[in-house]
Structure 1
Amino acid sequence: MSDLTENLNHKKKPLVPKFIYLIGFILILALCAGYGYWATASSQPTEEFSQWSKPVPVRVVAVERRDLSVELKAIGTVIPAHMVNVQSQVSGALQGIYFQEGYLVAKGQLLAQIDPAPFKVALAQAQGTQQQNMAQLRNAETELARYQLLFKQDSIAKQQVEQQQALVNQLKGQIQANQAQVDAAKLNLSYTKIYSPIAGRVGFKQKDAGNLIQANEEAGLVTVTQVHPIYVQFAVAENYLDILRGASSQGQKAQVSAWDKADQKQLASGQVQALDNQIDLNTGTLKLKAVFDNRDDALFPNQFVNIRLNAHTIQDAVSIPSDAIQHGAKGTYVYVINTQNKAEIRIVKLGVTSQGQTEILTGLNGTERVVLEGIDRLSEGHEVQIVKENIKATSTRSATG
């Protein structure tokens, strides 16, 4: 039995070294394969790829020299040239109304009629009193002439002549008072017809026919607004005071355009009529009034509009789009593309801004190209790739031509 055990142990011992040899062989093959891959990879040149190292696509615009209009924007309120609250100057029953609400009326057009009967009676009474006093005056003047003749004949005393003369003078004064009463009665009678004092558009009536209307009643009968022409009042910052006063002193009228509330549609064009005589301390603004012909009724009283005021024109100004201007620690600058298509930082000094264009006082001479889009990835000396716009449109126009 011991021999059998010994024999089995002798047969199992060689299995362990064979297993180790197998693992070692596999490891050697793996190492050889890794070395071969490393040697192959290292023998090929390494290609570096960086998006930041490539030319940056940009869109550029040419710096221009042109006349730059300084345009100021403001919010204005449309106000009528004249507005009248039509009131009755006498009291009475409203007999008739002769206008249509919301329509245009001419100056002097009949608007309403008050019952004239009481005023005709008052006029007749004043005229009757006047006639009575005139008859008394004629009699007194006849007596005075008789007294004067008798006085020359030394038939009566001088005192009687003087008393008769005083009576004549008294009656003449009474006649003047009577004439004033007649004129007042005629005037009141004329007030029974209410006419439009101006040409304009009438509003809603405040009284209907048949109602009693009082003299100088606060509510009045109707309002009339003159809309041809019409004004727009607005305010601008006091910084532009010198420009506006300079133009005004030279007799120039600054041009103004009125746009709708959305600032999309132009409603009318006009010119500055007047500047206020003081600056508002609360807002630091100067009020202006512009006049518009408004023949097409595009502007309506109390309407809010956007105002664009052409305050000044700068001749031959160096200008670029405002979006091309950058601000940094060194100040205000733009990216200029040189002849090698590389970006250069150019420090600039800005002037006025109008309609998306900014005046450049120093830093550009008007012959450069500045970057408008693609600025985020640019730096000093970075190469750029200029993107051409409207290539398709250009080729289409060429083919059509």
Structure 2
Amino acid sequence: MNDTPNQPAAPQAPTPPTPPTPKAPDAPAPRKRRGRWILALVVLVLVALVVMHVLRGKKPAPGAVAQVVTVASATLGPMPVTLDALGTVTPIATVTVLPQLSGYLTEVGYREGQEVVKGQFLAQIDPRQYEISKEQAEAQLAKDRASLAQARADLARFTQLHEKQSIAEQTYTDQKFLVAQDEAAVKADLANIKQFELDLAYCHITAPVSGRVGLRLVDPGNYVTASSSTGIAVITQMKPTTVQFTVPQNSLSSVLQRVNAGAKLPVTIYSSDNTRELATGTLYAISNQMATATGTVTLRASVPNDDEALFPNEFVNVRLLVDTMENAVLVPTPAVQSGAPGDYVYLVNANNTVSVHKVTLGPGDGQHTVIAAGLAAGQRVVTDGLDRLNDGAKIQPSGAKPGAPHGASAARMGNAAHAQSGPRPAASGASASSAASQAAPASPAS
């Protein structure tokens, strides 16, 4: 066995040197610092918002600063139940004076805008042709009366002859008919004379009603006809006048109940912008039909209008007093809030904290609102500064010293609220019963 000699190992190829890894360029230092500052600022803002939200939701601590607010006591008093609506001044009479015969207009006896009374002279139509016709009728009457007298005399003679049978029966009968014809002719003549007298009266045009004359429609010298639709003048009765308005069908039952009981419901008329009281009157008529398109019924009020403050066809606001609630619990309207809990007030407790108190509202007059349920007379409510309050907040009534008893302040507030004036004009529709809503607390007290 031959030993194989160890052969030398093959030489290995040399490993190429590894190239150095290129070093990434460093980011600019100012850009890094700016990004960190922005991130930190955003985080701080978010933290501040969260803290504010948490603190706002918490009830005030026992030592929290009391909010200065205005309070008032609920009082007992009358509250008018009213219906507000838009109305139109509707004159009792608007008359267009038309000529009743044809002729030339010779005279106009009124001034534009003048107040006239019934029977006052307005205009004159040339009467000469009607005077001539009357004279002709009078002449015909005289002629027919003479014929009648002759016929009656002949009939008297014929009657004597007829009794002696000295005349034919036919002759006697014909004479009686002739007398009857002449009598009818005389009656016709008298009627013609009356007609011409009436025509002459129509030539003298007078006011059919009392009122105010409008602008002149025709001038002297024009030929007018009985078929003209323009007229000589338009007269509008200014006083008394009426105001026509509508109420919704849901409110009609209360009105009918009072009217059927014999009540005379007062009506107050305000200007179209609700800034001035113009007149007062009473409801006197209700339509017998309801407008199906609008679901309303038309009412009419009578107004004396002695000072002529109401102008025909003027748009006005109407307030109808339907009834009056006696001994109602009243609070100033700003105290009433509306929100998620419904209608509520901030009730002032004995320790000068407030609680959300749900109430049931009744009618209002713009200054006060009736609390139908949920509040008693004498209880105090917040009327101003409500936007800074929540359930359980501490308050300091305006004008009271911190820590002072609330009795005197409450009495002053209650008297001030009770002394406020009566109803003011409101917008068209039902009377406002609550103020604008504020943000509602989460958990109202019962």
Q: In which range does the TM-score fall when normalised by the shorter chain?
A: 0.7 to 0.9
Question: Is the CA contact 1:320–1:357 (under 8 Å) kept in the aligned structure 2?
Answer: yes
Among candidates 276, 279, 288, match of residue 299 of structure 2:
288
Higher-strand-fraction structure:
1
Query: Residue 127 of structure 1: CA displacement?
Result: 1.4
2:374 maps to: 363
Moved more, 252-261 or 146-155: 252-261
Is it true that 1:231 corresponds to 2:246 in the alignment? no
Query: Residue 80 of structure 1: CA displacement?
Result: 1.3
The 5 A counterparts of 1:116-135 are 116-135=127-146
Higher-helix-fraction structure:
1
The superposition leaves residues 286-327 of structure 1 with CA deviations (integer Å, 9 ceiling, x where unpaired) of: 222112211212111111122222221111111222322222
- SS of the equivalent of 1:108 reads coil
- Unmatched 5+ stretches in structure 1: 1-48, 395-401
1:266 maps to: 277
1:255 maps to: 266
Among candidates 54, 59, 62, match of residue 73 of structure 2:
62
Distance in 2 (CA, whole Å) between partners of 1:113 and 1:58 is 76
- SS of the equivalent of 2:209 reads coil
**TM-score, with structure 2 as normaliser:** 0.73
Query: Residue 377 of structure 1: CA displacement?
Result: 3.0
1:115 maps to: 126
Question: Is the CA contact 2:103–2:224 (under 8 Å) kept in the aligned structure 1?
Answer: yes
Query: Residue 90 of structure 1: CA displacement?
Result: 0.7
Query: Residue 349 of structure 1: CA displacement?
Result: 1.3
Query: Residue 362 of structure 1 aligns to which amino acid in structure 2?
Result: A
Query: Residue 333 of structure 2 aligns to which amino acid in structure 1?
Result: S
1:301 maps to: 312
Query: Residue 91 of structure 1: CA displacement?
Result: 0.5
Query: Residue 168 of structure 1: CA displacement?
Result: 0.9
Q: 1:130 to 1:147 in 2, by over 3 A?
A: same
The 5 A counterparts of 1:376-387 are 376-387=387-398
- Unmatched 5+ stretches in structure 2: 1-54, 401-408, 413-446
Is it true that 1:323 corresponds to 2:330 in the alignment? no
The superposition leaves residues 97-138 of structure 1 with CA deviations (integer Å, 9 ceiling, x where unpaired) of: 111110100110010111110000111111111211111111
1:35 maps to: none
Moved more, 246-255 or 193-202: 246-255
Query: Residue 337 of structure 1: CA displacement?
Result: 0.5
The 5 A counterparts of 1:331-346 are 331-346=342-357
Distance in 2 (CA, whole Å) between partners of 1:375 and 1:139 is 109
The 5 A counterparts of 1:27-106 are 53-106=64-117
Query: Residue 197 of structure 1 aligns to which amino acid in structure 2?
Result: P
Distance in 2 (CA, whole Å) between partners of 1:216 and 1:58 is 76
Moved more, 187-196 or 260-269: 260-269
Query: Residue 87 of structure 1: CA displacement?
Result: 0.6
The superposition leaves residues 263-305 of structure 1 with CA deviations (integer Å, 9 ceiling, x where unpaired) of: 2122222222212222222222222211221121211111112
Query: Residue 146 of structure 2 aligns to which amino acid in structure 1?
Result: A
**TM-score, with structure 1 as normaliser:** 0.81
| Identity across matched positions, percent | 36
Query: Residue 158 of structure 1 aligns to which amino acid in structure 2?
Result: E
1:220 maps to: 231
- SS of the equivalent of 1:227 reads coil
The 5 A counterparts of 1:144-183 are 144-183=155-194
- SS of the equivalent of 1:272 reads strand
The superposition leaves residues 18-75 of structure 1 with CA deviations (integer Å, 9 ceiling, x where unpaired) of: xxxxxxxxxxxxxxxxxxxxxxxxxxxxxxx999642222211111110001232222
The superposition leaves residues 170-229 of structure 1 with CA deviations (integer Å, 9 ceiling, x where unpaired) of: 221222222211111111111100000111000011111111111141010110001111
Distance in 1 (CA, whole Å) between partners of 2:318 and 2:366 is 13
Query: Residue 129 of structure 2 aligns to which amino acid in structure 1?
Result: P
Distance in 2 (CA, whole Å) between partners of 1:355 and 1:160 is 97
- SS of the equivalent of 1:162 reads helix
| CA RMSD, 1 decimal | 2.0
- SS of the equivalent of 2:136 reads helix
Query: Residue 380 of structure 1 aligns to which amino acid in structure 2?
Result: D
- Number of corresponding residues: 343
Question: Is the CA contact 1:71–1:355 (under 8 Å) kept in the aligned structure 2?
Answer: no
1:197 maps to: 208
Distance in 1 (CA, whole Å) between partners of 2:114 and 2:212 is 5
Query: Residue 164 of structure 1: CA displacement?
Result: 0.7
1:8 maps to: none
Query: Residue 354 of structure 1: CA displacement?
Result: 2.4
Query: Residue 242 of structure 1: CA displacement?
Result: 2.0
Distance in 2 (CA, whole Å) between partners of 1:231 and 1:155 is 79
Question: Is the CA contact 2:101–2:202 (under 8 Å) kept in the aligned structure 1?
Answer: yes
2:44 maps to: none
Query: Residue 330 of structure 1: CA displacement?
Result: 3.1
Question: Is the CA contact 1:73–1:309 (under 8 Å) kept in the aligned structure 2?
Answer: yes
Query: Residue 332 of structure 2 aligns to which amino acid in structure 1?
Result: P
Query: Residue 332 of structure 1: CA displacement?
Result: 2.0
Distance in 2 (CA, whole Å) between partners of 1:87 and 1:171 is 38
Query: Residue 340 of structure 1: CA displacement?
Result: 0.9
Distance in 1 (CA, whole Å) between partners of 2:287 and 2:75 is 37
Distance in 2 (CA, whole Å) between partners of 1:62 and 1:269 is 33
Query: Residue 238 of structure 2 aligns to which amino acid in structure 1?
Result: V
